[in-house]
Structure 1
Amino acid sequence: MKQTFTKFVQKFILSLFVVVLGAGTIHAQWIFEITSPQSVAGQYDYGVANFGNYYEEEGELALAFDDSDDPSLGCEPLVTDMTDQIAILDRGACNFSLKAYHAQEAGAAALIICNNEAGVINMAPGDFGDLVNIPVIMLTASDCISIKAAIEGDEPVIGEFYFSGFTTENVLWGLEPGQGDFDGGLNDWTTQGISEPEHVWEYKPDAQSNGGCGSFRIASPSAFNGAMVFDADFYITGGPEDQGGIGCGGSEVAIHGELISPVIDCSEFDAVAVEFWQFNLNISQNPTPESLRERTYMQFSTDGGQTWGDRVVINTNNFQSTAGSSITNPERVVVIVPEAANEPEFRMKFVHDGSFYVWTVDDVRLIEPPENDLVMQDAFYPLRSFATPADYISADTFGFFCFVSNEGFSDQENVEVSVQVYNTDTDEILHEEIVQRSLISRGQLDTIQFTQNFSMPGIVGNYSIRYHVETLGVDDEIPEDNTLERRFVVTDDIFAKEDPAVNSFGGGVTNPDDSWYWGNVYYIPDGLDGTPVFNGVELSFVPTAGEFGGENAAVHLLEYVPSGPDISISDLNANSDLPPQFHTLFEPVAIGIIDSLMLNEAGPGGIVRMDVSQFLDPNFVSIEGDYLELNEDKLYAVVLQMEGDALRLPASSSILYNTVVGILYVDNPDGIKQYYSGYTSLGGPVARMITSVFVSTEDIAPFTPRSVQIYPNPTANELYLNFDHEQPTDVRVELFDMQGRLLMHRNYENVGNEVIQSDVRTKQSGNYIIRIKTDRGVQSQPVIIAR
Structure 2
Amino acid sequence: MRIFFTKHFLLVVLGFLSLQVMGQRINHLIIESPANLAGEYPIQRAAFGDKAEVEVTGKPVFAVGPNGKYEACEAITNAAEVTGNIAFIDRGTCGFSVKAYNAQNGGAIAVVVCNNNANSPNEIIGMAAGDFADQVTIPAFMTSYATCQKIRASILDGTLESVKLGNFCKVTDVEGDDIIWGIGEDANGNRGDFKGGLNGWTISTENTWVWNADGEVVGGQYLGGDFRSVFSPSGCNGIVVFNSDLYDFNQSCPPVCTGELVSPNISLDGINVEGIVVEFTQALRQYRSKYFIAVSTDGGATWSDTLQFNQEHPTNSAHILERKALPLTGLDGATQFRFKFIYEGNYYYWALDDIVVRNAKVIDTKIETNFFAVAPSLKVPQSQVAPMYFLADVSNKGNATGSNASLNVVIVDSNESPVAAFTEPLGDISSGQTIENTFFSDTFTPDAKPEAYVGAYVISTDEEDGNENNNQALFYFDVTENTFANLYTEDEIGQAYMKDVTEIWAVDPTNYVTIGNSYYLPKGNGWTVDKVRFGLKNQLDEIEGTGQIRVDLFEWDDQDGGVVRGVEPTERTLVGTNTIFLEEIDNLRNIEIPLFGVDEDGNQDEDSEVVLKDNTQYVLVAHSQPFDPSTPRYQFLTYNGFGLDDAYARSIYTEATNFVLDSLDKKRYGGSFYNDDGTQGDEADRTFSPLGNNQTLYSFTVVYLEMDIKKSTSTYNVDNTASAKVFPNPAARELYIDVTLENTSNVKVELVAIDGRVVASKSFDAVKDSRLKLNLNNVASGTYTALIHTDKGVLSKKVVVQK
TM-score range, shorter chain: 0.5 to 0.7
Task: Name the CA shift for 1:209/1:316 in 2 (closer, same or farther; >3 Å).
Answer: farther
SS at match of 2:446: coil
1:690 corresponding residue in structure 2: 707
Task: Name the CA shift for 1:506/1:37 in 2 (closer, same or farther; >3 Å).
Answer: farther
Structure 2 counterpart of 1:113, one-letter code: A
- Residues 502-554 of structure 1, C-alpha deviations (whole Å, 9 max, x = no match): 253158546699656474413133433423414131536375xxxx7555485
1:677 corresponding residue in structure 2: 691
Matched, 1:273 2:277: yes
Q: What aligned pairs does 1:432-471 form with structure 2 within 5 A after superposition?
A: 432-447=421-436, 448-471=438-461
Matched, 1:522 2:518: yes
1:239 corresponding residue in structure 2: 248
Task: Name the CA shift for 1:551/1:411 in 2 (closer, same or farther; >3 Å).
Answer: same
Structure 2 counterpart of 1:380, one-letter code: F
Taking the aligned partners of 1:299 and 1:84, their CA distance within structure 2 comes to: 50
**8 Å Cα contact 2:671/2:690 also seen in 1:** no
Structure 2 counterpart of 1:190, one-letter code: T
Taking the aligned partners of 2:159 and 2:610, their CA distance within structure 1 comes to: 59
Taking the aligned partners of 2:379 and 2:156, their CA distance within structure 1 comes to: 39
**8 Å Cα contact 1:202/1:228 also seen in 2:** yes
Matched, 1:311 2:315: no
SS at match of 1:385: coil
Matched, 1:486 2:468: no
Task: Name the CA shift for 1:367/1:451 in 2 (closer, same or farther; >3 Å).
Answer: same
Structure 1 counterpart of 2:592, one-letter code: M
1:290 corresponding residue in structure 2: none
2:378 corresponding residue in structure 1: 386
1:726 corresponding residue in structure 2: none
Task: Name the CA shift for 1:371/1:201 in 2 (closer, same or farther; >3 Å).
Answer: closer
Taking the aligned partners of 2:157 and 2:612, their CA distance within structure 1 comes to: 57
**8 Å Cα contact 1:398/1:453 also seen in 2:** yes
Unaligned 5+ segments in structure 2 are 1-15, 24-32, 38-46, 48-59, 104-110, 132-139, 164-172, 643-648, 656-669, 680-685, 718-749, 758-779, 786-803
Shift of residue 134, structure 1, vs aligned partner = 7.1
**8 Å Cα contact 1:506/1:542 also seen in 2:** no
Matched, 1:636 2:620: yes
Q: What aligned pairs does 1:501-520 form with structure 2 within 5 A after superposition?
A: 501-505=492-496, 508-509=499-500, 517=513, 519-520=515-516
Structure 2 counterpart of 1:258, one-letter code: E
Taking the aligned partners of 1:371 and 1:739, their CA distance within structure 2 comes to: 64
The alignment yields a C-alpha RMSD, in angstroms, of: 6.8
Shift of residue 559, structure 1, vs aligned partner = 3.7
SS at match of 2:456: strand
Q: Percent identity?
A: 16
**8 Å Cα contact 2:365/2:465 also seen in 1:** yes
SS at match of 1:188: coil
Structure 2 counterpart of 1:299, one-letter code: A
Task: Name the CA shift for 1:295/1:560 in 2 (closer, same or farther; >3 Å).
Answer: farther
Task: Name the CA shift for 1:389/1:187 in 2 (closer, same or farther; >3 Å).
Answer: farther
**8 Å Cα contact 2:485/2:706 also seen in 1:** yes
Task: Name the CA shift for 1:31/1:595 in 2 (closer, same or farther; >3 Å).
Answer: farther
Residue of 286, 293, 296 corresponding to 1:298: 293
**8 Å Cα contact 1:564/1:635 also seen in 2:** no
**8 Å Cα contact 1:489/1:499 also seen in 2:** no
Structure 1 counterpart of 2:586, one-letter code: M
- Residues 357-396 of structure 1, C-alpha deviations (whole Å, 9 max, x = no match): 778352443234354443333351322333332233x1x3
Taking the aligned partners of 1:619 and 1:69, their CA distance within structure 2 comes to: 71
**8 Å Cα contact 1:540/1:649 also seen in 2:** yes
**8 Å Cα contact 2:640/2:700 also seen in 1:** yes
- Residues 283-303 of structure 1, C-alpha deviations (whole Å, 9 max, x = no match): 7xxxxxxxxxx9864332345
Taking the aligned partners of 1:623 and 1:470, their CA distance within structure 2 comes to: 57
**8 Å Cα contact 1:498/1:653 also seen in 2:** no
Taking the aligned partners of 1:464 and 1:636, their CA distance within structure 2 comes to: 26
**8 Å Cα contact 2:550/2:580 also seen in 1:** yes
2:579 corresponding residue in structure 1: 591
Taking the aligned partners of 2:535 and 2:66, their CA distance within structure 1 comes to: 33
Unaligned 5+ segments in structure 1 are 1-24, 41-51, 53-61, 139-143, 159-165, 284-293, 576-582, 701-736, 745-761, 768-787
Structure with max Cα Rg: 2
TM-score normalized with structure 1 length: 0.55
Shift of residue 633, structure 1, vs aligned partner = 1.6
Taking the aligned partners of 2:378 and 2:406, their CA distance within structure 1 comes to: 28
Matched, 1:375 2:366: yes
Structure 2 counterpart of 1:388, one-letter code: V
2:203 corresponding residue in structure 1: 191
Taking the aligned partners of 1:561 and 1:650, their CA distance within structure 2 comes to: 23
Q: What aligned pairs does 1:340-351 form with structure 2 within 5 A after superposition?
A: 345-351=336-342
Shift of residue 445, structure 1, vs aligned partner = 2.4
Matched, 1:610 2:592: yes
- Residues 725-770 of structure 1, C-alpha deviations (whole Å, 9 max, x = no match): xxxxxxxxxxxx99695569xxxxxxxxxxxxxxxxx9x9xx9xxx
Residue of 532, 538, 552 corresponding to 1:536: 532
Structure 2 counterpart of 1:398, one-letter code: M
Shift of residue 462, structure 1, vs aligned partner = 1.0
**8 Å Cα contact 1:302/1:343 also seen in 2:** yes
Taking the aligned partners of 2:195 and 2:573, their CA distance within structure 1 comes to: 56
SS at match of 1:107: strand
1:113 corresponding residue in structure 2: 118
Shift of residue 274, structure 1, vs aligned partner = 1.7
**8 Å Cα contact 1:273/1:335 also seen in 2:** yes
Shift of residue 457, structure 1, vs aligned partner = 2.6
Shift of residue 488, structure 1, vs aligned partner = 1.8
Task: Name the CA shift for 1:338/1:569 in 2 (closer, same or farther; >3 Å).
Answer: closer
- Residues 122-159 of structure 1, C-alpha deviations (whole Å, 9 max, x = no match): 99x9xx99999979899xxxxx9999999999999x9x
Most deviating of 617-626 and 658-667: 617-626
Shift of residue 691, structure 1, vs aligned partner = 1.1
- Residues 259-305 of structure 1, C-alpha deviations (whole Å, 9 max, x = no match): 2112334444623212344869797xxxxxxxxxx9864332345x2
Shift of residue 463, structure 1, vs aligned partner = 0.3
Task: Name the CA shift for 1:514/1:111 in 2 (closer, same or farther; >3 Å).
Answer: farther
Matched, 1:406 2:396: yes
Structure 1 counterpart of 2:409, one-letter code: V
- Residues 35-60 of structure 1, C-alpha deviations (whole Å, 9 max, x = no match): x99999xxxxxxxxxxx9xxxxxxxx
Matched, 1:173 2:181: yes
1:499 corresponding residue in structure 2: 488
SS at match of 1:239: helix
Count, aligned residues: 581
Shift of residue 486, structure 1, vs aligned partner = 1.0
Structure 1 counterpart of 2:470, one-letter code: D
Structure 2 counterpart of 1:301, one-letter code: S
**8 Å Cα contact 1:83/1:108 also seen in 2:** no
Taking the aligned partners of 1:624 and 1:341, their CA distance within structure 2 comes to: 74
